[in-house]
Amino acid sequence: MESLRIYNTLAREKQTFVPRRAGEVRMYVCGITVYDYCHIGHARLLVVFDLVQRWLRTLGYQVTYVRNITDVDDKIIRRAVENGETIKAVTDRYIAAMYEDADALGVGRPDIEPRATDYIPQMLGMIDTLVANGYAYQAKDGDVNYAVRKFARYGALSGKSLEDLRAGERVVANDAKQDPLDFVLWKQAKQGEPPECTWNSNYGPGRPGWHIECSAMGCALLGEHFDLHGGGQDLQFPHHENEIAQSEGATGQTFVNYWMHNGFVQIDNEKMSKSLGNFFTIREVLAKYDPEVVRFFLARAHYRSPINYSDVHLDDARAALTRLYTALTDVVPDGAPLDWSEAHAVRFREAMNDDINTPVAVAVLFELATEVNRTRDAQLARQLRALAGTLGLLGREPRAFLQQAAGARDAEGLDAAAIEAKIAERTAAKHAKNYAEADRIRGELLDAGVALEDKPGGLTEWRRV
């Protein structure tokens, strides 16, 4: 395999990616906690690691991609109680919504998608081992906690010292803990909680803490030591730090070789979050913008950089994607396979092998589009479509994209039939040499977001702008 370099959060540098088994990659990504509709921050996570697994497969690796679903959690329980419905009803509804959103964005399903509630025995087994190894204890309130100071490498991923953490605001006072830094592995059942979120254990009835879920599922499905672990930047601490402590405390070996974290989605340069109320659900965004535009908006930013969400940026992404599709409108790509030795493909590949550098890779696509517009070369058109395809882009027939209505923003309600009728009126006006009326109709359509292009032979094509 050729040299792929990724930024390893644990090492704080780009490193050559070398999987534990030649030609195989085992990859785990922390998925969604399903108590509400996914927001655009979740969309970034889904798209980023879809791009990563796509590129690994493009390089020829056999990938086992695991992305979990957290279906037991304080927020889920709270939502179920508020709604007066079962936890399963809540989680099933939002899992179905998550699939709808992910499918719309062209995000492929992971190879394995475990639900936390299916791995309770594995979680309890790991907790038993941690207790036996001296890393965990049952407190007087019944919770089982991880003794952070027992794990010498704690803080290696986040770069936080125990002294910094001890003084930090993240530490919540709890008299039952031996140390305020300790975190919960098993939560004692509380009065009034639904019985469906309670399991029997050696520590009494209860449910797992959030952190132990991913440790247990990752080790169970990919082995106790695997290649790549991903997630949002907000999970670096404490979630991923705690995963390392749990997993390595239980197994005695390295948990993960490479850690990848995608940057935040921001609104007005402030992190988007439900707690701040400055978030947009994926389905709210898709009501205004075509899903491929949203994917392109997310894909063209480097995955580690923060990204600002706004209608202005989405409009710009739409215009940019339109330019790529427009280059393919009158040139049919030849049927040959992607030529990786061609100059544009070489630069594209170099960019993607440099820590999944999609901004440079997308710039190569625009260079290709310029050449296609200039030369009308079918081979270059093939290269453009095929390279974009590795990013999950340009998969549609160009005119289908250019003429589709992305949502309420488009064309003041004019559908394709109404537009074609207006074009027919304009054609009739031109035949009658009523050029003023023909120009008026062209202007009316342009004001409504529809551009016309007269082709040889009297044909008029249209696209939305």
Please check if 187 is assigned to a binding site.
no
Q: List beta partners, residue 184.
A: 145
Name the maximum alpha-carbon separation found in the chain.
91
Q: Is 71 helix (H, G, I), strand (E, B) or coil?
A: coil
Q: Per the omega criterion (within 30 degrees of 0), is the bond before 238 cis?
A: yes
**Contact (Cβ atoms closer than 8 angstroms) between residue 50 and residue 262:** no
Tokens for 365?
Answer: 């696509």
Please check if 197 is assigned to a binding site.
no
CA angle 242, 245, 248 (to 5 degrees): 140
What are the residues whose beta carbons fall under 8 Å from the beta carbon of 209, sequence distance 6 or more?
183, 184, 185, 186, 187
Name residue, tokens 């790991």.
126
**Contact (Cβ atoms closer than 8 angstroms) between residue 283 and residue 323:** no
C-alpha dist (Å) from residue 37 to 45, 69, 213, 299:
14, 14, 21, 21
Cα-atom radius of gyration of the chain, to the nearest Å? 26
**Nearest residue to 56 via CA among 114, 115, 111, 11:** 111
Please check if 433 is assigned to a binding site.
no
Q: List beta partners, residue 228.
A: 27, 258
Please check if 214 is assigned to a binding site.
yes
Please check if 219 is assigned to a binding site.
no
Residues in binding site for Zn(2+): 30, 214, 239, 243
Residues in binding site for ATP: 274
Residues in binding site: 30, 214, 239, 243, 274
